[in-house]
Amino acid sequence: MERLKGKVAVITGGADGIGKAVSERFSVEGAIVCVWDVQHEKGLSVVVKISNNGGKAAFFQVNTTDFAQVELAARQVIDQFGRIDILINNAGITRDASFRKMTHEQWQQVLDVNLTGVFNCTKAIAPFMLDNGFGRIVNASSVVGLYGNFGQTNYVATKAAIIGMTKTWAREFGRKGVTVNAVAPGFTLTDMVAKMPENVLQSMKERVPLGRLATVEEMAAAYLFLASDEAAYINGHTLSVDGGMTV
């Protein structure tokens, strides 16, 4: 359908997992895809795949915790493609441990990537969108940000905070034609998750009313909807894509 035809999209963490699926789907829908990631080889691989399939993409090696790198990459995208229409704040990490065992380093690492990284990318890119009077920002939250999860104090804190930031930016940016929403994925069968022991995967499936894990393609479809013109009047919303876990 080419729902994103001609749009320029920045996708952080776009070299792997859900981010990779989003990059590939956005390209199919006509977007010029800018993959931002710290993983150089994987990032280039995504770009090559998109190019071989007739799409247009570019890779930028960016550590989103470093605002100087983010600001430079944003300027490079503008210089190369003229604008940025879509920002997918997808980059994230986990450093799981029960609260008593969690170190300050584990706490800070997750906050730096999952929260400060989102702030940095939005800080660098939102001004271009506001000046142009158009933009779609979609932030990656999580179902655990809605109901908590054992052993993930740091991760849950960031994903709950993302929901609050999304609502705040929706209020601040909306009058300038920029919508801000979030996706809260449930259990998703990424390559990393697929390597878990079968009994762990079965336990995860049993917690989902649909009885299975999501595919990365299903998650990409949710990001696509919120980034498309079809979602033009949706602003400040967190879309749970979890098979019913939060019912």
Residue 212 lies inside a defined structural domain of this protein: yes
93, part of any domain:
yes
The reply to whether 3 falls in a domain is no
Per-residue pLDDT reduced to its tens digit, 123-141:
999 999 999 999 999 999 9
Domain count, the chain: 1
**Full residue range of the structural domain in which residue 229 is found:** 8-241
Side chain identity at 115, as an amino acid letter?
L
When the pLDDT of each residue in the chain is averaged and rounded to a whole number, the result is: 96
Q: Residue 200 above 90 pLDDT?
A: no
Residue indicated by tokens 């209020």 = 171
Contacts of 3 (CB under 8 A, 6+ apart): 29, 30, 224, 228, 229, 230
User: Does residue 66 belong to any structural domain of this protein?
Assistant: yes
- The pLDDT of residue 247: 82
**Mean pLDDT, range 185-193, rounded to an integer:** 86
pTM, two decimal places: 0.96
Structural domain includes residue 2: no
Is residue 18 in a domain? Answer: yes
Q: Is residue 72 part of a domain?
A: yes
Strand partners, 34: 10, 58
| Spatial distance between the Cα atoms of 227 and 230, rounded to a whole number of angstroms | 8
Supply the CATH number for residue 102's domain: 3.40.50.720
Q: Which residues are catalytic?
A: 155
User: SS3 for 121?
Assistant: helix
CA torsion through residues 220, 5, 165, 38, sign:
positive
Query: What is the average per-residue pLDDT within 217-226?
Result: 98
